[in-house]
Every structure is written in structure tokens, then in C-alpha cells.
Amino acid sequence: MRRAAWAAASLLVVAVGLVPVLWILSLSLKSPATITDQRFWPSDPTLENYRGIFGSALFTRALLNSVGIGLLTTVLAVALATPAAYALTRLDFRGKALVLPLTLAVAVFPPVAVVGPLFDLWRALRLYDTWPGLILPYLSFALPLAMWTLTAFFRGIPWELEGAAQADGATPWQAFRRVVVPLARPGVLTAAILVFFFSWNDFVFAISLTSSDRSRTVPAALAFFPGDERFGQPVGSIAAAAVVVTVPVLVATLVFQRRLVAGLTAGVVTR
């Protein structure tokens, strides 16, 4: 009886989680003729909307920008945060206690608070509407996120294995490569995925600091899609683009599920 109730509750959670996603998928498969049929499932599914958006440079360029900017942000953030997190876990130094709280403070400030100064700086430095013009502000949330996640992961690594390997005759480099790297890899990967999610998601910086397909990312492009006027916006194309950018999220979610949960909860919860 109780078990059935919990199972029903689980089912409800799954349904609530999935319905909006299925709804946007359904809209993306409707043709202009059936989009107003007010039905949850498309009666006559068509790929017309997808052909439309992949035929328009507006979307394909935005997709390229999103992927490029997201990957570069991720690589930079992880490259900078990994040594920092290593030092935070393994070394003692003055001011250490300040670093993580500072990171947390940086992570929660409202991005719109720096849009004005960044716009003013970027137009002077000619970074407005460029890739670096977005990557740099993205580091403001990517670095804290990566440092926080990595530090929590590194704390859980049995570092004594490194010493043990050296004791067994390995050189420090070998010990690092054969023992530390494999142990740290899951943490780095998780941090990388989370950082990518966050830059993939950003909207405030993307609409404020770009103005053309040179650097506009998908979330910003979605808000400016031109097209049919009936609803003030081209619903079918927006839905199709929305589905396309949700695919990477879906894949990452399914493949790295456990790691992502661990990464999200790391640092807040004891293991």
C-alpha cells in the first residue's frame, strides 16, 4: 500500500518533469496549419520547422557560437580551477580560509549588475559582440562553480595512494599520471559538464553584450527570431530550436546522471 503510494508519487514527478519538454517537442513537430489545434500530441508530425531553422544562418551561426563559446569557457574554467582546487585541498597557506567563501560570494551576485560596466569597457576594448566578450563574463560564474565542485571532489580522493605508488618505486610524475589523474578525472569531467550547462544557459550577458550573429548564442537568438506574426513570434521555429539545444542536455543527463547528481550536491553535503 505504502509502496504503491511512493511509486505513484515517483510517477507524478517523472510526468511533471517531462510534460513541458514533450510539449515543446510536440509544438516543434506541428505545421503552421495544425499549430493552433490545441492538442498535446501533433496530429500530423512534420520536420518542416527543423528544415527551416537549419536552413537559416541565424540559427546555425547561433548554434556554432553557443558550442564554441561554451567549450572555450569550459576549458578555460577547468584549466584555471583545477590547480586552484588542488592547492585548496592539498596545501596549506595563509588566506586559504577566505578563498572558498569569496568564490561563493562571486557565484551569487546578479549578472545584470555588471552588464553596464562591461558594455562600457567592451566598447572601449572592442570586445562588444565578440566571443571573448562573452567568455570573460562567463568565467565569473564558471570559475566559482568549477572550483567549488572540484574542491569537493578532490577532498574525497584517497591521496595516500599517490604516496603509496611512490613508495612502490614510481617516480612522482608516474604516480601523478597513473594514480592522481584517473582519480581526479571524474571530478574534472563533472565540473566541465556543469560549467558547460551554465554557459549554454546564459541569457543576460548574451542579449546585452552581443548584437549580431557574429557572437549571439542560441538563447539570445531565440528571443529575436524573426518570422510569422500571428503570435508575435514564430512559435514553430522557436520550438524546433528549443528542442535542438535541449538534446545535448538530455544526452548529458542520461549518460552522466550519477556524476551530475554527485557534482551538484558536492560541497554542501557530507559523503
Partner 1 sequence: MPRFRAALLAVLAAAPLLVACGEDGGPVTLGWYVGQESSGAYREIARRCTDASAGRYAIRLEQLPRSADAQREALVRRLAARDRTVDLIGLDVIWTAEFAGAGWLRPWDAERATAVSRGVLAGPLATATYRGRLWAVPFTSNTQLLWYRKSRVPAPPPTWDRLIDTAELLPAGQGTFAVQGGRYEGYTAWVAALLASAGTGLVADPEDPDRARADLAPGPAARALGVVSRLARSPVAGSGLSVATETESSDLVLSGAAALTVAYPTLYAAARADAPDLLADLGWARYPAVLAGVPSRPPLGGLNLGVSSYSRHPGPAFDAAACLRSAAHQQLAAVRGGLPPTLELVYDVPAVRAQFPFAVLLRESIAAAAPRPATPAWSDVSLAVQQVLHPPASVDPERAVPELRRRIDDALASQALL
Partner 2 sequence: MSRPGGPPAPAGTRPRPIGAAPGRPATRRRRRRRARSAWWLIAPAVLTMLAVTAYPVLYACWLSLQRYDLRFPDQRGFVGLDNYAAVLSAPVFWTDLGATLVIAGIAVAIQLVAGFGIALTLRRAVVGRRAVHAALLLPYGIITVVAAFAWQYAATPDLSFVSDRAWLAERWSSFAVVIATEVWKATPFVALLLLAGLAAVPEELLETAEVDGASAWQRFRQVLLPGIRPVLLVVLLYRILDSIRVFDTVFVQTDGANGTETLSLLAYDQLAGRLNLGLGSAVSVLLFALSAGTALTFLLVFRADLRQLARREER
Residue 47 touching partner 2 (CB under 8 A): no
75 binds, among partner 1, partner 2, none (CB under 5 to 8 A by kind): partner 1
Residue 212 contact among partner 2, partner 1, none, beta carbon within 5 to 8 Å by kind: partner 1
Nearest-approach distance from CB 113 to partner 2, in angstroms = 4
Contact between 245 and 65 under an 8 Å Cβ cutoff? The reply is: no
Residue closer to partner 2, measured from CB, 96 or 177: 96
Residue with cell 550573429: 213
CA distance 259 to 189: 9
Stretch that binds partner 2, among 54-62, 81-89, 124-132, 174-182 (CB under 8 A): 81-89
Q: Tell me how far, at minimum, the Cβ of 43 lies from partner 2, in Å.
A: 12
Q: What is the DSSP letter of 45?
A: -
Does position 197 interact with partner 2 (CB under 8 A)? The reply is yes
Minimum CB–partner distance for residue 239 and partner 2 (Å): 7
Query: Which residues in 10-29 contact partner 2 (CB under 8 A)?
Result: 10-11, 13-14, 16-18, 20-21, 23-24, 27
CA pair distance 251, 17, nearest whole angstrom = 16
Rounded CA-CA distance 172/176 in Å is 6
For the bound state, the minimum distance from the C-beta of residue 259 to partner 2, rounded and expressed in Å, comes to 11
Rounded least distance, CB 157 to partner 2, Å: 9
Nearer CB in complex with partner 1: 12/79:
79
Binding site residues, partner 1, CB under 8 A: 68, 72, 75-76, 79, 83, 119, 122-123, 128-132, 135, 211-212, 214-215, 224, 226, 229
CB 242 within 8 A of CB 28: yes
Q: What does each C-alpha distance from 156 to 13, 149, 253 come to in angstroms? A: 31, 11, 23
The enclosing H or E element of 133 equals helix 131-155
Q: What span, in angstroms and rounded, lies between the C-alpha atoms of 151 and 184?
A: 10
Closest listed residue to residue 78, CA positions, set 184, 206, 209: 184
Residue ranges in 115-154 that form contacts with partner 2 under rule CB under 8 A: 115-121, 136-137, 139-140, 143-144, 147, 152
Residue appearing with cell numbers 513537430: 29
168 binds, among partner 1, partner 2, none (CB under 5 to 8 A by kind): none
Q: Are 73 and 138 in contact (CB under 8 A)?
A: yes
